[in-house]
Amino acid sequence: MEKDELIQKLILGTAKDEEQAEAERLLKTDADFRRDWDEAKEVHAALIKNKSAELKEMFQDLENKTQSSSDQTPGDKVRWLWPLMAASAAAVLFLVFFDLGSSNQELYDAYYEPYRNVVTSIERGDNLKDDLVSRAFYNYELKKYDLAYEQLGELYSKDSQGIYLFYQANSALGNEDLENAIKLYKEHQQLQDDFYARSRWYLALSYLKNGQVEMSRHLLKEIVSSASYNYKNAAILLKEIQDK
């Protein structure tokens, strides 16, 4: 990973454990990385402080300072500063107009990843089998969650296997239908099948995205205490929620 991309992830709070470890190593051994990291923190802090009315002036001032630097060519710093500034500006503008509602969304975005298809091996193109299971999971893999949701619901109504319900809930979440996602994950939790722990993780994320922070916190604590699926990420996320 490029160092500028690593700095962006650190500032925006999306760095994974291994990336944070690499950053700590670079801070100890790489003077240029330390300098860029310190400057990036100042940029981010200034953006949060100054709000949207002063963003344009700040950006121009930062660009002028970058162009006058003797250590790097004008394009070098701008290359990594502008994505950072743009992302920070978007966050600031959201905060200005919608108060603090973006915090839960940012945490959700940092930890959400669609659960992979582990049910069927999908053959692409003309080789796709024309049965409901194949079509449902094919659409799920393509992130056509609206179609997958309907097809998986049909499968579950015909054959009450918990795995169909789990993936239907995943489809609802992927389609940002939080009400149905939470409802289906809760229903799936009652089955206590092999996907119970995974379902609990995604239910915690659904609660977080839906603003039900206490419900999310409760489930994350259960995940951590039982050392179940994704418990390491659950512990980190729980701390981030508590530090808000």
Q: What is the pLDDT of residue 211?
A: 92
Query: What are the tokens at 116?
Result: 């992979």
Q: What is the pLDDT of residue 34?
A: 85
Q: What is the pLDDT of residue 100?
A: 42
Parse the chain into domains and list their residue ranges: 3-98, 110-242
Q: Which CATH number fits domain 110-242: 1.10.1060.10, 3.40.50.410, 2.60.120.10, 1.25.40.10?
A: 1.25.40.10
d(CA 68, CA 59): 14
Cβ count near 108 (within 10 Å): 17
Q: What is the pLDDT of residue 70?
A: 47
In order along its 244 residues, the chain shows pLDDT tens digits of 677 788 877 766 677 878 888 888 888 898 888 888 777 766 655 555 444 444 555 555 555 655 555 455 545 554 555 555 555 555 554 444 444 434 788 899 999 999 999 887 766 555 667 789 999 999 999 999 999 999 999 999 999 999 999 999 999 999 999 999 999 999 999 999 999 999 999 999 999 999 999 999 999 999 999 999 999 999 999 998 876 6
Whether the predicted model's global pTM rises above the 0.75 cut: no
Q: What is the pLDDT of residue 99?
A: 41
Q: What is the pLDDT of residue 83?
A: 59
Q: Outline where 99-131 has alpha helix (H).
A: 102-111
HEC readout, 15-40:
CCHHHHHHHHHHHHHCHHHHHHHHHH
Q: What is the pLDDT of residue 210?
A: 94
Q: What is the pLDDT of residue 89?
A: 54
CA geometry: angle 198, 204, 206, nearest 5 deg: 105
CA distances from 172 to 52, 82, 148, 149, 189 (A): 34, 35, 9, 6, 16
